[in-house]
Every structure is written in structure tokens, then in C-alpha cells.
Structure 1
């Protein structure tokens, strides 16, 4: 009887350990996670799961965007300049008003994009990490939030999303 109790406790501990390990997030971009947690998670929620009606999840589309030049630019412009207007992600509607984070450094923006694409997205294909030079190039051609929204429509269509 005592052996069965010990065995059951050991199995439960093992199962809990496995379950916790299965949900643990590997973070390759801790600076990006810190920025995300401090600036983005308020709307996009912890782990980028999104908030119904307000902010879309960031656990799938950014990984798909990051594999194309237009998609990468869309991600960068969205963080730098913000975006507003209705959007759809996986047939869910969001009336999104994302603020500009242009006050962040180029390194912070590259890090947060890398965190979103490589740490939150399991699928990111052959995407390469974002770097400071890429962010500087996006800053050189500023857009307003309406243009960012319109560009998103073209990117989504071009990627078949």
C-alpha cells in the first residue's frame, strides 16, 4: 500500500515535471522579451496570445511575414509607426489601434521583432534575424499609421493569409 502511494506520487511528480517542461518557453532574445513584456504584452498579452477584439495574436503570422522582404518591412513599420483600423487574423476581427514605438532604439526594435518571430512563433521558415541596419532603413522612409494599415492589406494578400 505504501509502495503504491510512493509510486503514484512519483508518477504525479514526473507528469507535472513533463507538463511544465512542455509549456516552458525557450527565450533566445531576452532583451526582446523584456521589451515585449514591458511595452507589448499589455495588449497582445503574455506569450503573444492576443486579446479578442483588440489586439491580434502574434504566435503565427509574424513568423510567416518574416520570410519575405515586404512582410519584414510590415512588421518593422508596424512597430515603428503603429497602425490603426480593422484587421482580420484567422477569421477573427480586431479593431486595432497600435501606438508608435519609434522612441525605442533600433536595437530594441530588432530585438523585440526577433523575440516575436523566433521565440513566440514555432514556424518561421527560412527567416533571418532582424538587425539594426534593417531598422535604420525603415526609419529612413517613415510612414503614417494609415499607410502601414494599407501596406498590411497588400502583404496579407501577397502571402495568401
Structure 2
């Protein structure tokens, strides 16, 4: 009887821990509107939680945080979502080769929210002293004349300047 009681208590404890863990994850989302947009538009390639898809789409769980903390990177992120990007890239010693579409049909606020979700919710503390993106920053980026090839070239300069591989 004692063993059955212990098993029941252990099972109840695991269920409670799972519920607490799930609640903690839910509380960790600071940009729910950005998450909703990410889940609807970005997760198809970058996967849920931004974990990436081998060979196709890189993970978004480390580099965006570093980008957002630097002036060059703060331009790169909006340019990427506004104009798309194509070509082979390396992230954390893995190679990806895909054509990211542009998302310029989304509003400035939607794009700011999705970037904030990626930078602050998916990147944990790796965002350093980065500030959240604003719709005004996206609007300024939207005014630049760029294409996906220019975004790709700019990315190479940013990763080199930041010492990312």
C-alpha cells in the first residue's frame, strides 16, 4: 500500500510541476502579439520557439539578441523582415540556404512586436541592453530602398562586426 501511495504522490507532484512549468513559460512571453504573428507567419520555417530547421531556416534563439544590442544589428533585423533575404548563411557552425520572404505587408507595429518577441522572448538574456523595437524604427527602415540581396550583404558585415559565425 505504501508503494502505491508513493507512486500516486510522485505522479501528482510531476503533474503539478508540469503545470507550474507551463505557467512559467506562459509568463515568460512579454510580447504576445509578436508571438501570435511569429506563430502564424514565421514558425512554418523557423519552427515553434524559433528553434530553426536544419538546412533551411536558422534558429532565432541567439543571434537576434546580439543584433538588437548593436547599432548595425538594429538595422539588420527590420531590414530582414521588411525586404527578405536569400543565400547561404552560417549560424552556430551550421549552414542554411533558403529564401526568406519579405513581410512588408505587415504593419510597422506588427513587425516591431514580432521582432521584440524574437529578441526578448526567444533569446532570453542574450539581448544585453537592447531596447524594444518601436513602430517608428520599422517605419524608418521601410523608407530605405533595399532588396533581399542588399540585406544578405549587410548581414555578412553585421555578423563579422559582431564576431558571430
TM-score, structure 2 normalization = 0.92
Q: Distance in 2 between matches of 1:53 and 1:20?
A: 34
User: How many pairs are equivalent?
Assistant: 160
SS at match of 1:133: helix
Q: Does 1:115 align with 2:114?
A: no
2:73 aligns with 71
1:89-120 CA-partner distances (Å, limit 9, x unpaired):
01100002000000000000000000001111
Q: Distance in 2 between matches of 1:153 and 1:16?
A: 46
CA-based RMSD of the aligned residues comes to 1.4
Q: Does 1:125 align with 2:125?
A: no
Q: Does 1:52 align with 2:54?
A: yes
Q: Which runs of 5+ in 2 are unaligned?
A: none
1:94 aligns with 96
1:85 aligns with 87
**Equivalent residue for 1:104, pick from 69, 91, 106:** 106
1:65-112 CA-partner distances (Å, limit 9, x unpaired):
110111011111000000000000011000020000000000000000
SS at match of 2:112: helix
SS at match of 1:85: strand
**Equivalent residue for 2:32, pick from 30, 33, 38:** 30
1:145 aligns with 148
1:140 to partner: Cα distance? 1.1
1:8 aligns with 7
Q: Which moved more, 1:88-97 or 1:3-12?
A: 3-12
Q: Which runs of 5+ in 1 are unaligned?
A: none
Q: Does structure 2 retain, via aligned residues, the 8 Å contact 1:63–1:125?
A: yes
Q: Distance in 2 between matches of 1:151 and 1:13?
A: 53
Q: Does 1:154 align with 2:153?
A: no
Q: Does structure 2 retain, via aligned residues, the 8 Å contact 1:43–1:54?
A: yes
Structure 2 CA distance for partners of 1:12 and 1:42, relative to 1, 3 Å:
same
1:4 to partner: Cα distance? 3.0
